[in-house]
Amino acid sequence: MAGFDKLTEKFARRIARGTSRRSMLAWLGAGMTGAATFPVLPVARAATHGGGPTHSPVTAGIDQDPGDRTSCDYWRYCAIDGFLCTCCGGSVSSCPPGTEMSPITWIGTCTNPADNRAYIISYNDCCGTSSCGQCLCNRNEGDRPQVRPQSNNDYNWCLGSQSSVYNCSTAVIVGVALDQPK
């Protein structure tokens, strides 16, 4: 396992240094035992609410990335499991102030309904602050048992971080998939 740990550590350090996405994906392609984000509340999708009873959607502002990022239905959340950082002080791709973004996490593949491309989405968790409590969302397209960590969203991936306490989850575009999701 030493080899795997070293790989993970190396990956974490690369991300910390802000290495380009391209090189990261190349590395991923070379074969990372990805791993998952976080909890599941069964039927959490129904329970999820947005920023308020009748609020305007939080959007990218461009037609190519459609949908309300405070809604569990947003396309990037196809395999997310947890509180949406967009409702917690962060955004779809950034952690709230006061937290630390987990350096590694699991990678999903979601199809953007606007451009019909399959994007590789990294569900990095935000760590070190307790449960955000807002916009709980659980979707499991492509989720598989824990024996396949790179395809399972039940792990707490606040793991490479200083604290393992979980706050919320992001859904970061890290590239376009070479292939379509199954």
Site for another protein in 25-84 (CB under 8 A): 29, 31-35, 38-43, 46-47, 49-58, 64-65, 70, 78-79, 81
Q: How far is the CB of 111 from another protein (least distance, A)?
A: 8
Contact 172, 93 (CB under 8 A): yes
Contact 122, 79 (CB under 8 A): no
Smallest CA-to-CA distance from 123 within 56, 35, 62 is with 35
90-129 binders of another protein (CB under 8 A): 90-91, 93-104, 109, 112, 114-119, 122, 124, 126, 128-129
d(CA 45, CA 53): 16
Mark whether 157 is an active-site residue. no
Q: Quote the distance between the C-alpha of residue 41 and its chain's center.
A: 16
Beta bridge partners of 51: none
Q: How far is the CB of 10 from another protein (least distance, A)?
A: 13
Q: How far is the CB of 115 from another protein (least distance, A)?
A: 4
Residue of 81, 125, 143, 157 marked active site: 125
